[in-house]
Structure 1
């Protein structure tokens, strides 16, 4: 930052010196010389005006937006896009049956995407989608079979997709993932090239929204099979049908798009270029923003918010996200196979302190799993379900004593100082990792070793249960508890912890399939309490998104339950 200030000062001084050269230097000037000089200055001014006009015209013809991405996408294989970075990338280049639109007041609606119309049976268990005339970016027609193939590939147990749990509302989906029925029994069928039928296992009020999500995006079977394991690993190993085409993917550096002229609604897309610069560090991101390298930046610290608030050319946006930050434990590790040990780690955290000190008031303390912005059948879930972790804390005022009880049950040394735990962390999350390290040592007396890794490595190790304890966040895809709570059902591979509970599965199945609002609320409440009181996961903060954009950036859509969309954005 000091270097940047020094450079700016040097530039300002140089500008002052050059400005000083415009005077007469104390010498007399003839009328003819003055007239010539004036003429010369007029010509120069006209040329400068012409240049500015040319630049403005060029800006109108070639709209370009540059934004930041906090981390390298985990994978662009559409059966594996379970993290928000990968989802954000694919959402710009691939469109589903439906699409989400956000108006200027923040209201969200479902609009036609690849399907120009649809209808459902009276019981809303069978949906028929009619595809529009649309093409993939390479000129191949988008077909109903592309959706059938994609959905069945995600549900095929051989794929081991981490996002299969998002679409278990489809008929026989849960059975297919479990391997008890063949994949051909799943309720998705292309009736012809332009007609897709989807049968549900139970009515899902969020179904049309889900059709816009990453778990139901189309895939080209020929592209997937031609690339094999390398599908989605490079820009030339995936094909899109959305508003932008993926032009370049420089790993750990940037993602570049160009407008897709084959997109069915290309006339509504104003941006010619979209660039996502992968910048891990917040200071570096904000430096790029202030220097003009990017046009939009997310902010997570109070100091930067205070600084950026002072610039009236920046537009601030604050969104309360349906996203929860949490610790999770590998229960196949001996230490965390014990419930009391996990509970001790959960209640050792001072969530108010995390919110105020670590996040400087930028996030809210979490005593539940479902964020306080979510509802169940029109009722705020948190107000209905209470605070299960707060209850656990009140019942166990001494977390260290609880830890020792757990160590005793395991037959391990009852001295916490003999315990060492590996905390898998993103290499850009040092502050909160160090807070956990300090807290668990101070409150519980255990030793914590921070194990920092890059995001794709974090995801790979998580899925392979190659960790002891880790932390990250998860956000809902639609406004129903099922979106957050299906993660912990048996067989769902999004965030493996080694935990399985028949009662939890029963509650989730009953709640998701029932039309009885009171029963659904009761089951979801009990299911959440079960996963939190057993400390399978340890929520500690609800997320709030704060971002700044330059005032010339218009119409960025930020759906609460899906990725940011740039297809209707433009430079004014």
Structure 2
């Protein structure tokens, strides 16, 4: 969710707002990094209130169950794990009081926790982490993100029902000492610990609330820089500075107001009337405001794509999927429909995200893995029609319900219907939460979707599409792909060059199978008031950090 997209003073465009998981991202708050400003003291004369626009209701405030960028962005600011990303996007100590003691084999971490409080006054303890992690991998919880913990000893066995949750490799030595045992020595463990699935949960409070836990602002407790103080579903929500936060002296903002707005023109009007401090811009507004001194753009690590559900008999055909991907013009799409700095994507793993042992960017090494070729698409489509036994077919495109996504859907429909004879596409716009649910259940033909990285490694994109993976959601399966992913998570961790090659090869297989049709790597255009300073945009995990933000 750029993650972290990275995801603040803005209108969240659906085309740049919604990501499943993610880590995904909520561009409703996309802001460029401003580390110098982030170090300045806030001016006392200016009220420390930030007014933003969100493009969606918060789907979940339960850190164990959340799967989307909107939720993760809020959680990143009201909860805190052992680490959080700092102003330079490095993992810095959060609930951990000091760097851990690590065993010689790199598999056992012992953390000392700081004297931190929940917003109800309870102490944050090692048992809060044990409870949360066990809850996440317990199959009874049915957490889609349980696989994120599979690097912890016993997690996969527990989640598959072969072991009990109390066998997980996490132990509270005492209230302030936490021991974690990993299955393998993994290079990205610190960045994982800053992600929401690894946050602690107040066991007593969660059990008291039962099924109501985290459904309202007052049915959750918070240990981060802010609390969720008000939540008017489908209308607005508000964050307030958390007086019990261990580092509250560093937090300058007193209030962050989010209004939920799905129409770009309405968001621009709120900005113009000074009811919003930032707004994201769609193509037509970019041309209008690009000379404005408060206009800006930022790059992102979120990648959007069409999910092609292989439960559909047409899309189960590889030639049909390849035709789908080759039949629409991605360059014209980003130039005309988006016009916000986004780049056409012919890949899954974004550029400028992570580098290999050789120092080269992943994207630079693998390059483009698909192309726009209408004539070849027509040949493949004709072959698919013959092999699959159809002449005409109607497919439904699952979409978000905002105005920007409507334009995207119309573009895809026009391109594919024009270039693939006999194809008719119907559009099915849905509210964000309902769309996620339909995808999770596989109740769609193909969908407009996106993914923002959860931690800084290509695996955060690659393992999404393993057979029966929680976020596969489209029936894709390739044993060679699965083996490469399994090796990169296991035996190849001791040979980083070979592991990197396995990840590169896995992406090539995915694209050769046309499991997805990549669309674009997101860029964001926006207007932001000159007095807003210090918002940190993260490349992975929760999209934005407001801890150091202030009104100057």
Aligned twin of 1:231: 213
Query: Where is the helix percentage greater, Structure 1 or Structure 2?
Result: 1
Q: Which has the higher contact order (CA 8 A, sep 6+)?
A: 2
Map 1:51-70 to 2 at 5 A: 60=45, 62-70=47-55
The structure 2 residue matched to 1:93, chosen from 69, 78, 82, is: 78
Q: Distance in 2 between matches of 1:289 and 1:135?
A: 36
Superposed CA offset, 1:112-137 (max 9, x none): 10111122123321111111011100
Do 1:165 and 1:486's aligned partners in 2 also have CA atoms closer than 8 Å?
A: no
> In structure 2, the residue corresponding to 1:270 is in which secondary structure?
coil
Contact 1:166/1:486 (8 A) holds in 2: no
Are the counterparts in 2 of residues 100 and 110 from structure 1 also a CA contact under 8 Å?
Answer: yes
Alignment-derived partner of residue 254 in structure 1: 236
TM-score of the aligned structures, taking structure 1 as reference length? 0.84
Counterpart of 1:437 (choices 406, 409, 413) is 413
8 A contact 2:195–2:455 mirrored in 1 = no
Q: Does the Cα contact within 8 Å between 2:340 and 2:523 map onto a contact in 1?
A: no
Of 270, 273, 285, which residue of structure 2 is paired with 1:304?
285
Aligned to 1:13: none
Q: C-alpha displacement at 1:101, in angstroms?
A: 0.9
CA positional deviation for 1:326: 0.2
2: distance between equivalents of 1:190 and 1:465? 39
1:385 equivalent to 2:359? Answer no
Equivalent residue runs for 1:320-335 within 5 Å? 320-335=299-314
1:321 and 1:125 map into 2 onto residues whose CA distance is 32
**What's 1:293 paired with?**
275
- The whole-number CA distance in structure 1 between the counterparts of 2:317 and 2:214 is 39
Do 2:298 and 2:341's aligned partners in 1 also have CA atoms closer than 8 Å?
A: no
Q: CA deviation at 1:300?
A: 3.7
Q: Find the aligned partners of 1:548 and 1:198 in 2 and give their Cα distance.
A: 44
Is the counterpart of residue 481 in structure 1 residue 497 in structure 2? no
- By how many angstroms is 1:457 displaced? 0.5
Q: What is the distance in 2 between the residues matched to 1:229 and 1:461?
A: 22
Write the distance in 1 (CA, Å) between the matches of 2:489 and 2:178. 24
CA RMSD of aligned residues (A): 2.1
Tell whether the 8 Å contact from 1:74 to 1:85 is kept in structure 2 after alignment. Answer: yes
Following superposition, the deviation at residue 296 of structure 1 comes to 2.2
2:89 equivalent to 1:114: no
1:523 matched to 2:502? The reply is yes
C-alpha contact (below 8 Å) 1:69/1:279 kept by paired residues: yes
Name the SS for the 2:60 alignment partner. coil
2:320 and 2:213 map into 1 onto residues whose CA distance is 41
**Hey, what does 2:120 align to over in structure 1?**
138
Matched-pair contact (CA < 8 Å) for 2:345–2:521: yes
Query: Is the 1:300–1:362 Cα contact (8 Å) retained in structure 2?
Result: no
1:552 and 2:526 aligned: no
Contact 1:243 1:263 in 2 (8 A): yes
CA distance in structure 1 between the aligned counterparts of 2:370 and 2:155, rounded to whole angstroms: 33
Distance of 2:213 and 2:551 partners within structure 1:
33
Measure how far apart 1:59 and its partner are.
6.3
The 1:495/1:279 distance shift into structure 2, 3 A limit, reads farther
Shift in Å at residue 211 of structure 1? 0.9
Instruction: Report how far residue 164 of structure 1 moved.
Output: 2.2
Structure index of larger Rg: 1
C-alpha displacement at 1:441, in angstroms?
0.6
The separation in 1 between residues aligned to 2:426 and 2:287, in whole angstroms, is: 34
The worse-fitting range, judged by mean Cα deviation, of 401-410 and 344-353 is 401-410
* Alignment partner of 1:76 out of 52, 58, 61: 61
- Tell me the equivalent position of 1:564: 544
Ranges in structure 1 where 5+ consecutive residues have no aligned partner: 1-56
Deviations 1:417-460 (A, max 9, x none): x2000111101110110011111110112000001111011011
When normalised by structure 2's length, the TM-score is 0.87
